[in-house]
Amino acid sequence: MTPDLMDEGARRAGAHRQAQSRAAGQTASGGRDAGFSRLHTPGEVDVTHGRILYLEGVNVSFDGFKAINNLSLDIAPGELRCIIGPNGAGKTTLMDIITGKTRPDSGTVFFGSTIDLLRYREADIARMGIGRKFQKPTVFERLSVFENLELALKAHKGVAASLRFRLDSAQRDRLAEVLQTIHLGAELRRPAGTLSHGQKQWLEIGMLLVQEPRLLLLDEPVAGMTDRETERTAELFLALKGRHSLMVVEHDMGFVQAIADIVTVLCDGSVLAQGTLPQVQADERVIEVYLGR
Ligand SMILES: Nc1ncnc2c1ncn2[C@@H]1O[C@H](COP(=O)(O)OP(=O)(O)OP(=O)(O)O)[C@@H](O)[C@H]1O
Ligand SMILES: [Mg+2]
C-alpha cells in the first residue's frame, strides 16, 4: 500500500461515508465521526475518533444461510478484545470479513475512521497493518527461528525490495526485540520444525509483529497448548495490548479470564452480549447458548 493509494482510499472512504450519512440523515455511529475533513498523516490509520475498527450492520449469507446477521462492533486503539461464542457463531467469518477474505453482502467495515476495508483486497489489508493468525501454525519448518522472522520482515517490504534487502540496524533491533517478546531469544538458531507447538505459535505471532501491525486478529491462539504455554501466551498478549489492538477468539475460558477487558459474545452471527467477563458470564442468554448451567 503506497501512501498515495492510502490517501486515495481515505478520500474515497470519506466521500462514501458522507454520502451514506446524508442518505440516512445522520451519522451511522450516533455522531461520533464528526470530521472527515480532518487531516491525518497519509499512510497512518486515523484513530482520532477512538476506534481502530468499526463494523456496522454487516451481513453475510452462504447459500441462503445467514452466517453474519446485522453485526455491529467497534474496537478502541490499543484494546484487547475477546470474542467468544458457540461453534458456528460466525467468529472466524468475522475475521474473514475484516481481512478481506470474505465479502459481506451489506454493511460497513472501517479501519480507523477513514479506511473503508470493503474497498481493498486481502493483501492490501495485510499491508495496511491488519495481521491475522490462523489456528494452525504456518512457520517454515526447515528455516531457523531468526530466518523465519527475517523472511516475514522482507515479505512485508515486497518482492522487489526483498531481493536487494539487507536488514538495517533498526530492523535488526526490531527482530531482537520481537525475539524477546515471544520468549524465543535463546532459540534463534533452532530450525522452526523442532519447536514445540506453543513455540511455533509464538514464532508465527512474532512473524506478524515484525510487520508492526496496528490490529492483530488471533483465532483460537492457545488451542493445543500446554497449561504453561497458555499462561505465557496470556502474558504475551497483555504485553502487546496498548502498542497493538488485538481481537482474540478463544473457547478457553481460563485464558479469556486472564486477558480480558471487554468480552463480546457472538451467537448466530450477531452480538448477543458484551461487557466484562463476569458480566457476560452472569447473562442468562449467554449461559443458555454457550456457557451452560
Ligand atoms: N465458506 C463458507 N461456506 C459455507 N458456509 C460457511 C462458510 N464459512 C462459514 N460457513 C458457515 O458459517 C457459520 C459460521 O462459521 P464460523 O466458522 O465463522 O464459526 P465460528 O464461530 O468460527 O465457529 P468455531 O467456534 O467452531 O470455530 C457456520 O455455520 C459455518 O458452517
Ligand atoms: Mg472458528
pLDDT classification of 130: cutoffs 50, 70, 90: very high
How far apart are alpha carbons 273 and 280 in whole angstroms? Answer: 6
Query: When comparing pLDDT for 56 and 134, which is higher?
Result: 56
Its pTM stands at 0.83
pLDDT tens figures, 257-285: 999 999 999 999 999 999 999 999 999 99
Query: What is the average pLDDT across 154-162?
Result: 65
Type of residue numbered 176: A
270 lines ligand 1 (CB under 6 A): no
Looking at the CA of 83, name the nearest ligand: 1
138: CA distance to ligand 2 center in Å? Answer: 17
For residue 269, give the ligand 1 atom closest to its CA. Answer: 14
Which one is the CATH code of 3-291: 3.90.930.60, 3.40.50.620, 3.40.50.300, 2.30.40.10?
3.40.50.300
Q: How far is the C-alpha of 88 from the C-alpha of 93, rounded, in Å?
A: 9
Ligand 1 pocket test: pick from 91, 132, 134 the residue with the most ligand atoms within 8 Å of its Cβ.
91
Q: Which residue has the higher pLDDT, 24 or 77?
A: 77
Beta bridge pairs of residue 65: 62
For residue 61, which ligand has an atom nearest its CA?
1
Neighbours of ion ligand 2 (CB under 5 A): 91-92
The residue to mutate among 63, 82, 92, having the most atoms of ligand 1 within 8 angstroms of its beta carbon, is 92
What pLDDT, on a 0 to 100 scale, did the predictor assign at position 170? 83
Q: Which atom of ligand 1 is nearest to the CA of 85?
A: 21
Q: Tell me, what DSSP letter sits at residue 175? A: H
pLDDT of residue 158: 63
In the sheet with 130-133, reading across from the earlier edge strand, the strands are 130-133, 215-219, 245-249, 80-84, 262-267, 270-275
User: Model confidence at 159, in pLDDT bands (50, 70, 90)?
Assistant: low
Cα of 281 to ligand 1 centre, how many Å?
24
Q: Is the pLDDT of residue 22 over 60?
A: no
Does the pLDDT of residue 243 top 90, yes or no? yes
**Res 153: pLDDT:** 87
Across 221-243, average pLDDT? 96
- Closest by CA to 124, choosing from 1, 211, 42, is 1
pLDDT tens-digit readout, 247-256: 999 999 999 9
pLDDT tens for 163-178 read 566 777 888 888 999 9
Determine the atom of ligand 1 nearest the C-alpha atom of 220.
27
Percentage of the chain exceeding pLDDT 70: 82
Minimum CA distance residue for ligand 1 atom 17 = 92
Tell me, what's the pLDDT at 169? Answer: 84
Q: Evaluate whether 271 touches 99 at the Cβ level (below 8 Å).
A: no
90 Cβ below 6 A of ligand 1: yes
Residue 231's identity, in one-letter code, is: E
Cα angle at 74 between 71 and 76, to 5 degrees? 165
pLDDT band at 50 (very low <50, low <70, confident <90, very high): confident
Asked if pLDDT for residue 16 goes beyond 80, the answer is no
